[in-house]
Structure formats: structure tokens, C-alpha cells
């Protein structure tokens, strides 16, 4: 093991009952703890939101205003699974229903005018979009190139940020 790198040596073994198992040798520091889990068993118990990390994004985040940064961070906790629609959780807003501006104010701590300017700036920068859901609700959606709640973003979500908002794509995004 060199520096902060962890070395894992994995050897595939097949047991007699047909189950595939792996014998792993892991080098770790004394202060590190290794935990093995099956992500498919905890799928509905744990929520993970992936913050994308690339050089372009690092450069772009430096260009965001303080209020825009606050919104990106705060709203990332309210993204719907693989659609990235910003929805309530029953503590703030109604569960799985797009959040209203007043709800976003509560989450971010921003005043209405500051929130409006920040949202406008994020839309202009392609980080947020404003769409109409299948049930005719207005909703904000976050670009999966910045943040993703889920494993694979829906194709319609990707298309929302790749082109000028195509009405068919945004309607497809909101179907469940």
C-alpha cells in the first residue's frame, strides 16, 4: 500500500452449490474500517445523491454566486429518483410533489428575491431547468451532469439539458 491508496486483490471462486464468491485480500491502514454490504439489499433504505466531479464543473462552480451555490447544495437533497425533479419529502412540501418557491426559501434560507435571482442564474447556466410535469405541475429539475439521485438518469432528463427544452422530452421525464 502506498500513500492513501488501498490495494484490493480479488480472486473469484465458485462454490459447489453454484454461488459465485470472491476471496479478497485488502491492505488497509490501522485506522481504516472495511465494511461489506450488498447495495441491492439496502436500495430503499439508504439515499445517495452523487455530486459529479469533473474539471469543467470545478471551474464552473467558481463562477456561481454565493446564492447559486447555496441552492445547488440545498436542493440536491430533494431530487426525485432518476428524474432529478426537485420534490418535497413531507417535512418540507408534499412527498414526491414538486416544491414551490416558498418551500425552496425555507430549505435554502434565501429571501424570495435572492432565490429568484439565483434560480434565474442557474437556469441560464444550464444547471436548473423549469419544466411542466405530466400532471401539468410546474417543477424545477437539476442537471444530472451536476448532481444525480439514482443510478442512471432518464433519457428525457439528459435531453432536457442537451437541447432547447423539447416539450415531448419534458413530458416523458415526468411520467412514472
Are the beta carbons of 129 and 160 closer than 8 angstroms?
yes
Tell me the range of 70-84, 113-127, 153-167 where mean pLDDT is highest. 113-127
Domains in the chain (CATH in brackets) are: 49-173 (1.10.10.10)
Query: Whole-prediction pTM value?
Result: 0.63
Express each pLDDT in 29-47 by its tens digit: 777 776 665 655 555 544 5
C-alpha cell at 108: 435554502
For the cut 90, the answer to whether the pLDDT of residue 88 exceeds it is yes
For the cut 60, the answer to whether the pLDDT of residue 2 exceeds it is no
C-alpha separations of 119 from 11, 32, 123, 131 in Å: 50, 41, 6, 13
Amino acid at each position: 500500500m502506498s500513500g492513501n491508496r488501498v490495494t484490493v486483490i480479488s480472486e473469484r471462486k465458485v462454490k459447489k452449490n453454484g454461488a459465485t464468491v470472491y476471496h479478497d485480500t485488502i491492505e488497509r491502514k490501522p485506522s481504516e474500517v472495511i465494511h461489506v454490504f450488498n447495495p441491492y439489499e439496502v436500495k430503499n433504505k439508504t439515499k445517495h445523491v452523487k455530486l459529479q466531479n469533473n474539471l469543467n464543473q470545478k471551474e464552473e462552480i467558481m463562477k456561481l454566486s454565493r446564492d447559486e451555490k447555496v441552492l445547488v447544495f440545498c436542493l440536491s437533497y430533494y431530487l426525485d429518483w432518476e428524474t432529478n425533479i426537485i420534490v418535497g419529502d413531507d417535512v418540507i412540501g408534499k412527498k414526491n410533489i414538486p416544491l414551490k418557491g416558498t418551500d425552496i426559501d425555507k430549505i435554502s434560507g434565501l429571501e424570495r428575491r435572492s432565490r429568484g435571482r439565483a434560480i434565474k442564474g442557474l437556469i441560464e447556466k444550464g444547471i436548473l431547468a423549469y419544466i411542466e410535469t405530466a400532471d401539468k405541475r410546474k417543477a424545477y429539475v437539476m442537471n444530472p451532469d451536476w448532481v444525480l439521485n439514482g443510478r442512471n438518469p432518464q433519457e428525457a432528463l439528459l435531453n432536457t439539458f442537451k437541447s432547447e427544452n423539447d416539450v415531448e422530452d419534458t413530458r416523458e421525464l415526468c411520467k412514472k
